[in-house]
Amino acid sequence: MRRNLRVQSALTGVNAAVVGLLLAALYHPVWTIAIRQPQDFGLALVALVALMFWRLPPWLVVAGSGAAGWLANVTL
């Protein structure tokens, strides 16, 4: 199946569709609800860097982001 050109083309299309769905799911419920101020965007950017470049465990990034968001709301 890996050598079949039709199967490869179909999998390429499915992969693109999945990426589009994931981006749509990120934007609508997550971005529109969670990102309201520049500080929220900064926290999301730091979390992304922590996951992609620093390679921290996801549970640690989630816990740290939650704590940082809670502390930001408490101090306001």
- How far apart, in whole angstroms, are the C-alpha atoms of residue 67 and residue 75? 12
Tell me, what's the pLDDT at 74? 82
26 and 9 in a common domain? yes
Averaged pLDDT in 10-residue chunks for the chain of 76 residues: 89 95 90 89 94 96 94 77
| Token pair in block for residue 41 | 């965007």
Q: Collect all residues with Cβ–Cβ distance below 8 Å to 43 and sequence separation of at least 6.
A: 65, 68, 69, 72
Tell me, yes or no, whether 29 and 47 share the same domain: no
> What does residue 54 show for φ and ψ, rounded to 5 degrees?
-85, -15
pLDDT for the residue 76 = 59
Domain residues for the domain of 30 are 1-34
pLDDT at 23: 93
Same domain, 30 and 57: no
Same domain, 25 and 50: no
* 30 shares its domain with 41: no
